[in-house]
A and B are shown apart, each in its own frame.
Chain A
């Protein structure tokens, strides 16, 4: 400890936005663009505002990570965490600034990068391992361990396209888990997979950290950040807000998140739709409506390159960050998918909240084509304080802060009865009213 492993100086990253991003520009436009370039340059020099199509994902970030440290990157969607990680992983180049790293770095932005569906499990272990930067000898040495870890001995020679999705992820993670870099860069890989898988991930990262590897970790899961990181960097809109001990940063982040009723960002129109703006509000019952008809309304602006049907889901988390529930149009029933118009669509979603306890919640938006591709995943992008009237017959609604959980379930009794105490055991017995009341011994 003491020596630095990663040093970032004034890191900036610019993306150019526009009707079409530079990637899908065609040759003709490039040629006409080349002819127009002198004029554009002229305009730039004469002080015309050429920067309006630019989007700075990072606006000058400095930090230093010490050797052997587990360093967390925290921030809301669009704060620049992933861009920063991509620069550290050398996937994309910074526009300005400099990074220096000491040590063999490996990045884990997803598990199973480069897996080929036609190849067998055995072949994919070598393929994926090599892509992640392991040598052949290293993979061969760890091969049995990897297979053991994944539990796929029987299917080693089966093409991975025949694997169940669980097996696939286990194998992919098993390879990644056997990387032994000096610096490891990890993105939200923990977000995939089940609870057990996530536990495995965390355990593995802890053991790596114990072995004095330096880890940079991006996550929206504050519990994972808390479990792993020594220090964190809080990013907001491409700037570093604060660097400090994990506990301090988490509370700063939580304060940020619970104040956000709308979410907006610049989007690059690529080949997939993306959410440009989202708003949330609680609505009281309409006039003449039932008293219990409290709702939250989410409105989305979605920018799409073409007409398509998508499923949109909302994941609700309570103030402590635990998921409470999920509501979706189309994830569970393909007939309920939402049709997006080309370019801009405005989508309004409403959800009854009669059963939610009063208090603070965050909402994550997930847009996908079910079981094909996840188009957008915005963790905790909205926050809402749910206030609602009590249900009929009650004088108040259940507050989340009471700690009974987040759902107020309707409880009905089927026949009128009364409760009576039985002796000293503290038991209750339901005694039918019409039967004679008697004390049981």
Chain B
């Protein structure tokens, strides 16, 4: 038994200030984050025949559908690249972002039974879901290399910037996910709003089409969407196109903004969760 003075002193008070983000406590619970992440991954593909192949199949099937309808029938240009690889390089990060956001927005409500029985930093719940989606994303990424080899696209030095874009997409997903998850606890309306929101966001982002088909005078508006810079940047890393720096910089700033707003909103309402979930 440690002496009294060595023990941690916990003070429980009516309100914690919204800027009071206990990073030490989060760090102390990193193992729980990992365990919850593992749980999500394991449970998702339990009792499926194809198992982890689904992580790959989802963007793959989307890619086929998009290639047939948009690439083949609608003849949407793809900046001189083969349409399938063009769209796959966009769908891949987008699928990660959208599943991470959709699932994490539901995460608190789905784990209400745990939240109302045990204390741990609640941020871990949506974070773990984003982590699990990240693993799916890495699995699906392998296929991108296969496609690059097939279409004979050489790896460029830009590939080294990929981790930066993945990090930014993750940070955005964490921010948007935590924000929506805390809103969903109070307003269950968001259960219906989020899928719709994600759908709209997808069409507002140049995934299935290049930004070059957007009329010149509206391009700045599309660039304001942070996902434009992130998805475009990710695609450029692999396919060797030039970066659109203004939109990339907007995206970097926005992803940090999302994160800060999401996490601090979450912290400010966190303590009410157990009462209303």
Binding site for B on A (CB under 8 A): 3, 15, 21-27, 30, 67, 86-105, 107, 109-110, 113-114, 116, 118-119, 123, 126-127, 130-133, 135-136, 159, 182, 211-212
Contact = CB atoms under 8 A, between A and B. Distances in A.
Contact of B120 (A92, A102, A109, A133): A133
B219 interface: no
Contact of B119 (A23, A97, A107, A211): A107
* From B113, B185, B275, residue with most partner A Cβ within 10 Å: B275
23 contacts: A21-B276, A22-B276, A23-B276, A23-B277, A27-B189, A86-B274, A90-B10, A90-B12, A94-B14, A98-B13, A99-B11, A100-B9, A100-B12, A101-B10, A101-B11, A102-B8, A107-B118, A109-B118, A113-B113, A116-B39, A116-B43, A119-B46, A133-B120
A244 to B, nearest CB: 25
B187 A95 contact: no
Given A23-B186, A100-B9, 12 more contacts: A23-B185, A24-B188, A26-B188, A98-B13, A113-B117, A123-B39, A126-B35, A130-B32, A130-B35, A131-B118, A136-B35, A212-B1
A105 B7 CA distance: 11
B271 A92 contact: yes
Interface residues of B, number: 43
A114 B276 contact: no
A94 B188 contact: no
A424 B36 CA distance: 75
A116 B7 CA distance: 33
A26 B7 CA distance: 44
Contact of A94 (B8, B12, B32, B39): B12
Contacts of B7: 102-104, 182
Given A118-B46, A131-B118, A22 B12 contact: no
Interface in B4-28: 4, 7-16
A377 B115 CA distance: 21
B81 interface: no
Contacts, number: 129
A87 B4 contact: no
B201 to A, nearest CB: 19
A212 B189 CA distance: 49
B72 interface: no
B9 A102 contact: yes
B187 A26 contact: yes
B75 interface: no
B276 A89 contact: no
Contacts of B276: 21-23
A379 to B, nearest CB: 19
Given A30-B187, A126-B35, A100 B116 contact: no
Given A27-B189, A93-B272, A100-B9, A131 B42 contact: no
Nearest to A7: B11
B199 interface: no
B39 to A, nearest CB: 6
Contacts of A119: 39, 42-43, 46
Given A109-B117, A118-B46, A131 B32 contact: yes
Interface string B148-176: 00000000000000000000000000000
Contacts of B32: 130-131
B217 interface: no
A92 B270 CA distance: 9
Contact of B39 (A26, A127, A132, A135): A127
Contacts of B190: 27
B12 A101 contact: yes
* From B10, B114, B117, B277, residue with most partner A Cβ within 10 Å: B117
B4 A67 contact: yes
Contacts of A113: 113-114, 117-118
B31 interface: yes
B161 to A, nearest CB: 34
Nearest to A22: B276
A130 B271 contact: no
A3 B32 CA distance: 32
B12 A103 contact: no
B1 A110 contact: no
A135 B186 contact: no
B181 to A, nearest CB: 14
Given A15-B275, A118-B47, A131 B120 contact: yes
Interface in B253-277: 271-272, 274-277
Contacts of A93: 12-16, 271-272
A162 to B, nearest CB: 12
Contact of B274 (A92, A102, A136): A92
B188 A97 contact: no
Contacts of A94: 12-14
A99 B14 contact: no
Given A24-B188, A102-B9, A116-B39, A96 B14 contact: yes
